[in-house]
Amino acid sequence: MTALLLAFGPRAELGALGLLVLGLGAAAAFGVLWVVFFTREMTRVARRIYGGDPAIVPSPPAGRFETRLMCNRLVSQKLGVGGHLYLGPDEWAFVPHRKNRQVDQTPLHLPVNRIRRVDQIEFRPTGLARLISAQPVPIVRILADDTSSFVTPNPTEVATELRRRLSMKDSDPAA
């Protein structure tokens, strides 16, 4: 309102060109400051998650787990829940971190003997996500009693390792 009065009011000092320059300057400052703030904050949170900060990353579920893999579980085509997939000889468990919505913080337990298959598939973006990237995103899909899909770093290597672990369990006579 003040800018409009300065541009067009009884004691106009800016004029229309001044108002345009003021608006462009404010928009540029907001854009730059927002990007800097958002980038710093996301970097800080990512470091805390990678470091296993107990304020964000819950402890693994009870049981024997050998590997922790940071990933996102796709709960819909538009929503991924960040967390860790813990891999053990008898069970795999996805534990969402505490930065997710409360409703999405329930762990997912996948007994290894109930897992039928591990695939790597391509997830095609829909809606507005297509404007950002029309490229399909490779994801790892675990088929058990229900199907769970995960976005992981290096999905090809992750899917190969998960399949290897699953085949070791299938070939183990003690299982």
Place of tokens 């980038």: 39
pTM: 0.72
Q: 108: closest CA among 140, 76, 73?
A: 73
Point out the least confidently predicted range of 7-11, 67-71, 77-81, 118-122: 7-11
Q: 73: which 2 tokens?
A: 């579980």
Place of tokens 């762990």: 107
Edge to edge, the sheet with strand 67-74 lists 108-111, 91-96, 80-87, 67-74, 147-151, 137-143, 117-123
Q: Residue 169 pLDDT more than 60?
A: yes
Q: Are 85 and 72 in contact (CB under 8 A)?
A: no
Q: How confident is the model at residue 13 (pLDDT cuts 50, 70, 90)?
A: low
What is the C-alpha to C-alpha distance for residues 5 and 74, in angstroms, rounded to an integer? 50
